[in-house]
């Protein structure tokens, strides 16, 4: 959850009822359960109290959404808004119908009418408000490389609302000195507080333990939600990995707002992988991220060239699109294993091996198309594959050191 919601978490302290009882907190023990639809009014004392809390979420979220609707401009990209709404609606339907496991938050599972808005900004950012109001920045929509990556972001934000993390964060408010609350609120809802105050107060709050717990639980719930809705949970992982690599490349020169409270830490990435392995879900980065996949482009002369991400590997001299597809499939399966550079070797007659198995063969026609000898092209392609492995490893492991 983002810096604005740090303030909102404390705003709920001042405006809403009692916090949820401790027995609602998740301990990571339940499994996905299909929720029985019940439209009857709450009857028990606990049901009445929970409904009041949910109504508070909706009220607070609506008030905050009204504020952000004044402050943020809606995108002019109609297709981006449509895409986010369609994926969001699919996820929201599943979220409301099912109770997913969680590690921190309210296990009582509210139902919300989720609303998704894309707003103008080049920042790679998104945030959710209580009651199911979710905002996505245009920069994030432009950054994702598949519907699976976008679904990962939306599922994460839906999980924040579904697990009622703002309400749960109220339980941690005593960790902040009383003077911090008005300072954080002033930072967000006025513009009279110096940036240094935000750095010292607001950002300190972000790094408290509850933030890590909320993010980890939203990742966990979001991954389950993605799978239930038919998306590849690898998209959540690759989004995190690519964002970390981008942030490192710019060395803080660009404001990647999502990093302020969504640090793609070693623990979070490993938890996603742990979830996927436990549920026998294949980690196929090539399926969800262009940067991690082999793709082909056909030139004006009809020749097909293979790339790993944006790195050119070589141009095929014959076989066209069918051969390119076959080679790409084998290369992608190889890259998805996250191999070592030493796994790539060369043999006779243009053969390139991966872990001692034939990966591809450079032909005479290929050599001619690249104006090289077979041996030279073979070595060049092998070098390109090794360099791609290095790039892949950098993206994956840079954020885990």
Q: Give tens-digit pLDDT for 312-360.
A: 999 999 999 999 999 999 999 999 999 999 999 999 999 999 999 999 9
Task: Examine the pLDDT at 197 and tell me if it is beyond 90.
Answer: no
Q: Which of 43-57, 84-98, 294-308 has the lowest mean pLDDT?
A: 43-57
In this predicted structure, what is the pLDDT of residue 7? 40
pLDDT in tens, 325-338: 999 999 999 999 99
Q: What gap in Å lies between CA 213 and CA 174, rounded to an integer?
A: 17
Element (H, E) at 33: strand 33-34
In this predicted structure, the answer to whether residue 199 has a pLDDT above a threshold of 80 is: no
pLDDT tens for 29-77 read 334 565 555 556 667 999 999 999 999 999 999 999 999 999 999 999 9
Spatial neighbors of 183 by CB under 8 A, at least 6 apart, are 193, 197, 201, 202
Distances (CA, A) of 294 to 56, 302, 311, 370, 379: 49, 19, 9, 19, 18
Percent residues over pLDDT 90 in the chain: 64
Res. 304: pLDDT tops 70: yes
Query: How high is the pLDDT of residue 270?
Result: 83
Residue-wise pLDDT tens digits, 250-293? 544 444 444 444 555 567 778 899 999 999 999 999 999 999 99
Q: Does position 209 have pLDDT exceeding 60, yes or no?
A: no
Strands (E), 123-201: 126-129, 133-137
Residues 203-207, mean pLDDT to the nearest whole number: 40
For the record, the structure tokens of 397 come out as: 């492991």
3-state secondary structure of 46: helix
Strand, helix or coil for residue 29: coil
User: Residue 196 in 3-state DSSP?
Assistant: helix
> In the prediction, which pLDDT does 108 show?
93
For 103-122, what is the mean pLDDT? 96
Q: What is the pTM of this model?
A: 0.82
For position 83, what pLDDT does the model report? 99
Question: Residue 168's pLDDT band (boundaries 50, 70, 90)?
Answer: confident
Q: Which pLDDT band, with edges at 50, 70 and 90, does 167 fall under?
A: confident
> SS3 of 7, please?
helix
Mean pLDDT of 142-170: 94
More confident residue, 25 or 126: 126
Q: What is the arithmetic mean of pLDDT over 164-174?
A: 76
CA 306 and chain centroid, separation? 28
Pairing of strands 304-308, 294-298: antiparallel
Determine the pLDDT at residue 166: 87
> Which residues are CB-contacts of 63 (< 8 A; sequence separation ≥ 6)?
none
Q: Specify the pLDDT at position 333.
A: 98
Mean pLDDT of the chain: 82
Tell me how far apart the alpha carbons of residues 228 and 94 are, in angstroms, rounded to a whole number. Answer: 7
Give the count of alpha carbons within 13 A of 124, CB side only: 22
Whole-number pLDDT of residue 44: 92
pLDDT at 93 exceeding the cut of 60: yes
Strand order in the sheet with 357-361: 344-346, 351-354, 357-361
Is 257:2 a contact under the CB 8 Å cutoff? Answer: yes
Query: Mean pLDDT across the stretch 370-379?
Result: 98
Q: What is the mean pLDDT of residues 177-200?
A: 46
CA of residue 240 relative to chain centroid, distance:
5
How confident is the model over 211-230, as a mean pLDDT? 93
Euclidean distance between CA atoms 316 and 349, whole angstroms: 16
Mean pLDDT to the nearest integer, 395-400? 65
At 221 the pLDDT is: 97
| Rounded Cα distance, 135 and 129, in Å | 8
pLDDT of residue 178: 53
């Amino acid at each position: 959850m983002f810096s604005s919601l740090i303030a909102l978490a404390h705003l709920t302290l001042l405006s809403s009822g009692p916090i949820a009882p401790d027995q609602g907190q998740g301990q990571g023990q339940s499994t996905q359960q299909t929720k029985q639809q019940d439209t009857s009014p709450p009857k028990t004392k606990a049901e009445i109290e929970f409904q009041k809390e949910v109504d508070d979420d909706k009220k607070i979220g609506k008030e905050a959404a009204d504020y952000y609707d004044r402050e943020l401009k809606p995108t002019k990209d109609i297709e981006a808004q449509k895409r986010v709404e369609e994926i969001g609606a699919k996820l929201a339907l599943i979220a409301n119908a099912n109770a997913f496991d969680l590690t921190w938050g309210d296990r009582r599972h509210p139902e919300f009418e989720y609303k998704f808005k894309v707003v103008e900004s080049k920042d790679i950012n998104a945030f959710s408000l209580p009651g199911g109001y979710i905002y996505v920045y245009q920069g994030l929509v432009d950054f994702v490389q598949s519907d699976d990556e976008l679904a990962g972001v939306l599922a994460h934000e839906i999980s924040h609302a579904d697990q009622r993390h703002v309400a749960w964060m109220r339980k941690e408010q005593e960790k902040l000195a009383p003077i911090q609350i008005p300072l954080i609120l002033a930072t967000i809802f006025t513009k009279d507080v110096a940036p240094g105050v935000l750095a010292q107060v607001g950002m300190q709050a972000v790094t408290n333990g509850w933030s890590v717990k909320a993010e980890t639980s939203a990742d966990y719930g979001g991954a389950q939600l993605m799978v239930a809705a038919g998306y590849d949970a690898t998209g959540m992982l690759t989004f995190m990995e690519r964002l970390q690599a981008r942030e490192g490349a710019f060395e803080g020169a660009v404001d990647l707002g999502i990093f302020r409270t969504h640090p793609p830490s070693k623990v979070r990435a490993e938890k996603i992988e742990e979830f996927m392995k436990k549920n026998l879900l294949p980690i196929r980065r090539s399926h969800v991220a262009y940067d991690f996949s082999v793709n082909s482009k056909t030139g004006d002369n009809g020749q097909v060239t293979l790339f790993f991400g944006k790195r050119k590997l070589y141009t095929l001299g014959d076989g066209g699109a069918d051969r390119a597809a076959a080679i790409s499939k084998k290369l992608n399966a190889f890259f998805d294993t996250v191999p070592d550079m030493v796994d790539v070797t060369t043999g006779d007659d243009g053969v390139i091996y991966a872990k001692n198995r034939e990966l591809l063969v450079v032909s005479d026609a290929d050599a001619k198309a690249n104006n090289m000898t077979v041996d030279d092209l073979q070595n060049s392609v092998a070098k390109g594959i090794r360099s791609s492995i290095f790039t892949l490893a950098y993206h994956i492991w840079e954020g885990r050191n």
